[in-house]
Structure 1
Amino acid sequence: MTTLQARIAEAVENRADRITQTLCDLVSFDSIVKSNPREAGPGERLCQEYLQMRLEKIGFTTDLWDPDGPALYEKYKGRPGANKGRTFEGRPNLGGTLVGKGGGRSLMLTGHIDVVPPGAPEHWTSDPFVPVVKDGYIQGRGTVDMKGGVASMLMAIEILREIGVELSGDVVFTTVVDEEIGGMGSLAMVDRGFRADAGIMTEPTANRIAPLCHGILWGKIIIDGIGGHAELTPNAWYSSGPVDAVQLARQMLDGIDILNRRWMFDPKKNHPLMDLPNQIIITQIKAGEHPSSMAGRAEIIIDVQYLPSEKDAFGLGGHVKREVEAHVGAVCQADPYLREHPARVEWILDADCAEVSAEHPFVTAFQGAVAQAGLSPDLSGFGAHSDIGLPTGLGETPTVNFGPGNPAQSHQPNEKVSIRDLIDCTKSIALAIENWCR
């Protein structure tokens, strides 16, 4: 480690309290996004205005804007990140650029500030938006996913400025909304022209460099039975019904288990950096109309993972959609009723994925910075979806995931991140900026 790098590492350690306070400030904004973005409150805007103020204090030129959802959809329809019906009124994206002296490589730091709803209050030991600092952790909604990462990337560049580190390359800073419901905020950010020679997205990876993530499909399997009185002896379905959609849904769930078992041993569904094979995860089930009536309809919501190697010609999960649809059709063939009244799949969301080569110059440079910060430089996969596909593909900014916190804490009640993780992440990013942009 050079004298300058040692000075950077020491400066980060000396600002542990400010790193902690920065995350507490961010958590206090209830920047919730719901599946219907029109229900979002002012928290996203207020959080972005706070970040804008911090960036401008250290010399960034900033851009705070409400994306035009319908126009973006028309421009990118059928491409990654283009989701119909999105609205961004009062839900701005933030971008900023700190111009270097010239002649150096640029780096983009990016993340999202929207968070999922906290859920039932009784599941929390504290108010989700009143951060609690205790026993070396910060607790609150978004501490892990992913305001901890945003705090680290902000503090990394602030610290470099404070100790007088001069950079030749530009540093680009972007924070987006809408990530938790599909990534159109990142699409808007790339469309706005924010890009760099490389990028770090500070999603929680337990401070491991993750150069790939899963693509995600959300789908709804709809099964139509025939409603009828639950307590009376039914006639045959082919005369007057009823047919229990709950029973049919059980058969479909068993069929999904079979496909998951098959995927466990399919090389196309596995990646050496991923801990688990691709899976179809059941996230919601809705069935029935009345306590004394057989269900006339059942709906099964699925979350389907796919790898970058499985992307179709549009950079999305079209091949995997067809695979799932074919399997649902095969399950229907095993039942005499479903054979004549097959289930259907409606696709809700297709969130793309990306992979940056382990040999990419930025990946190897970042591994060196992480090692200097005392962390493991080994690469890993990010099992969930993140938005790295949009800057990497459309924006031509090869972007990796790297951020503080145990990703398993994401979306959980009593979500919390280690202060040590925050410090180590801030240090790694600061060292990476100095190395890459000098």
Structure 2
Amino acid sequence: MAVTQDDIARISDHLDARADRLAETLCDLINFPSIVKSDPTEAGPGERDCQIYLQQRLAAMGMETDLWEPDGPALYAKYEGRAGAHKGRTFDGRPNLGGTLKGSGGGRSLMLTGHIDVVPPGPIEHWTTDPFVARIIDGRIHGRGAVDMKGGVAAMLLALETVHELGLPLRGDVVFTTVVDEEIGGMGSLAMVDRGFRADAGIMTEPTDNRIAPLCHGILWGRIIIDGIGGHAELVPKGWNETGPVDAVTLTRQVLDGIDVLNRRWQYDPAKNHPLMPLPNQIIVTGLEVGEHPASIAGRGVITFDAQYLPHEHDDVALGGKVRREIEEHVARICEVDPYLRAHPARVEWILDADCAEIPADHPSVLSMQEAATQAGLNPALDGFGAHSDIGLPTTLGGTPTINFGPGDPAFAHQPNEQVEIADLVACAKAIAIQILRWCA
């Protein structure tokens, strides 16, 4: 069924009239401090309450809902070695939510999905507002999660409510899911897919500045451990073995220089670049721990890093195994040029491998979303999502080709004073509502 100009006008007018309701919804969501905890067995304050709030909104539309706490150990046993499977995760007090708005039958289904967990706010003195008391300032909503990604959750909820309130006929089902655990590995999305939530196409409302992003990066978190031999920093060393003290600071510098060499190589390697991505894959050093005492030669160095990979670099389980081996082999080559490291090589320990996906530009759902964006007055050009998102799990495991499309500048994610424009929220909700009608009618 073609979407008429009258349909578009009704959707646009309805959401313009409900801009305050959309802003209020996002403020409500921000006010739940649904912080993801680094301890995977501990529930973040507000995770459950936030999901209950959303469940009540879905139930008000007559939707069938499912609020459940996944069985983390059972999921790990089932999917060990696959994307999203992380040992030690539990979900007590951390439920996922799913709901279905039934169509009349015979049409294509669409899944709207997002996460409600947020990262900690960091030092409160870096904020000009309370991160968990949402404020509206000059048309922008401030608070933790405004961009990443409760703004997207609010927009997809209002889009669905608009379709329902206007009585727009749908043949296909609309599936609505919100998950926890995204910010520490994606096991919530794994649980969602395992639960059976899937559709003919999907939209994950991560912040993309309302651009259509059918691609995201996979990410690898790891640490490189360099063992030296400690000693007194101010005295002539006298070794307890044939080597004597070996400064781990110097060794760590050498490894860092070697990472720079690999990054320069990747910068010009076609396999590490994508036309939709503004930057090549990189190994980004995100942490350094070297030394034990101001008067001691450092005995150990630890380099923590974040590396990206692209979907075409997947291994046979759709993860980054090939890139892990590439990094390990490069670290081994760095060690070969130093006599001490040749005998005592640095070792790489892996913390996380989060998958990625790419939906072809000519996929019907992508083309339809481009039309919906155009009809909502947005730029239909495709873009890449430079960070990781969970689109790989519904796409590769659940068979739901899922794109990223959501409100807000992603540069505000994880920063103090996170904020999103209300106008962006409204524009996003319009495009999603139009896509619901285009795809499911």
TM-score normalized with structure 1 length: 0.98
Aligned to 1:87: 90
1:290 equivalent to 2:310? Answer no
The structure-2 alpha-carbon separation of the partners of 1:336 and 1:236, relative to structure 1 and needing over 3 Å to count, comes to farther
1:235-257: CA deviation from partner (whole Å, max 9, x where unpaired): 46963521121221111111111
- 1:108 counterpart SS class: strand
Stretches of 4+ aligned residues off by more than 2 angstroms: 37-42, 233-241
- Structure 1 unpaired stretches of 5+: none
- Alpha-carbon distance in 2 for matches of 1:149, 1:400: 13
CA contact (8 A) 2:84 2:186 kept: yes
- Alpha-carbon distance in 1 for matches of 2:286, 2:90: 25
1:348 Cα deviation (Å)?
0.8
- Alpha-carbon distance in 2 for matches of 1:35, 1:248: 30
Aligned to 2:390: 387
Q: 5 Å matches for 1:46-85?
A: 46-85=49-88
CA contact (8 A) 1:237 1:243 kept: no
CA contact (8 A) 1:382 1:401 kept: yes
1:336 Cα deviation (Å)?
1.3
Aligned to 1:123: 126
- Alpha-carbon distance in 1 for matches of 2:197, 2:357: 18
- Quote the RMSD (CA, aligned, Å): 1.1
- 1:101 counterpart SS class: coil
Aligned to 1:402: 405
- Alpha-carbon distance in 2 for matches of 1:428, 1:262: 40
Q: What is the aligned counterpart of 1:242 among 222, 242, 245? A: 245
- Alpha-carbon distance in 1 for matches of 2:243, 2:124: 46
- Alpha-carbon distance in 1 for matches of 2:238, 2:251: 17
- Structure 2 unpaired stretches of 5+: none
1:166 Cα deviation (Å)?
2.0
1:252-273: CA deviation from partner (whole Å, max 9, x where unpaired): 1111111000000001000111
1:309 equivalent to 2:312? Answer yes
CA contact (8 A) 1:214 1:308 kept: yes
Aligned to 1:44: 47
- 1:316 counterpart SS class: coil
1:207-234: CA deviation from partner (whole Å, max 9, x where unpaired): 0000010000111101111111122222
1:103 Cα deviation (Å)?
1.2
Q: Could you tell me which amino acid in structure 2 is paired with residue 253 of structure 1?
A: L
1:37 Cα deviation (Å)?
2.2
- Alpha-carbon distance in 1 for matches of 2:327, 2:241: 28
1:256 equivalent to 2:254? Answer no
1:38 Cα deviation (Å)?
2.6
Q: What is the aligned counterpart of 1:177 among 177, 180, 200? A: 180
CA contact (8 A) 1:104 1:169 kept: yes
Q: What is the aligned counterpart of 2:421 among 403, 409, 418? A: 418
Aligned to 1:344: 347
Q: What is the aligned counterpart of 1:224 among 227, 237, 245? A: 227
1:299 Cα deviation (Å)?
0.9
- Alpha-carbon distance in 1 for matches of 2:330, 2:361: 34
- 1:103 counterpart SS class: coil
CA contact (8 A) 1:144 1:405 kept: yes
CA contact (8 A) 2:248 2:299 kept: yes
> Which has the higher mean CA deviation after the structures are superposed, 148-157 or 162-171?
162-171
Q: 5 Å matches for 1:195-234?
A: 195-234=198-237
1:161 equivalent to 2:189? Answer no
- 1:160 counterpart SS class: helix
1:132 Cα deviation (Å)?
1.3
CA contact (8 A) 2:43 2:91 kept: no
1:40 Cα deviation (Å)?
3.2
Aligned to 2:116: 113
Aligned to 1:377: 380
Aligned to 1:187: 190
The structure-2 alpha-carbon separation of the partners of 1:237 and 1:104, relative to structure 1 and needing over 3 Å to count, comes to farther
Q: Could you tell me which amino acid in structure 2 is paired with residue 32 of structure 1?
A: I
- Alpha-carbon distance in 2 for matches of 1:292, 1:394: 53
Q: 5 Å matches for 1:124-139?
A: 124-139=127-142
- Alpha-carbon distance in 1 for matches of 2:135, 2:236: 58
- 2:378 counterpart SS class: coil
- Alpha-carbon distance in 2 for matches of 1:288, 1:31: 36
Aligned to 1:322: 325
1:314-356: CA deviation from partner (whole Å, max 9, x where unpaired): 1100000000000001111121111111000011111000000
CA contact (8 A) 2:206 2:389 kept: yes
- 1:145 counterpart SS class: coil
CA contact (8 A) 1:42 1:91 kept: no
CA contact (8 A) 1:45 1:90 kept: yes
Q: What is the aligned counterpart of 1:102 among 101, 105, 110? A: 105
Q: Could you tell me which amino acid in structure 2 is paired with residue 104 of structure 1?
A: G
Q: Could you tell me which amino acid in structure 1 is paired with residue 220 of structure 2?
A: L
CA contact (8 A) 2:42 2:92 kept: no
Q: Could you tell me which amino acid in structure 1 is paired with residue 318 of structure 2?
A: G
- Percent identity over paired residues: 71
CA contact (8 A) 1:81 1:390 kept: yes
Q: Could you tell me which amino acid in structure 2 is paired with residue 324 of structure 1?
A: I
1:167-197: CA deviation from partner (whole Å, max 9, x where unpaired): 1110000000000001010000000000000
- 1:83 counterpart SS class: coil
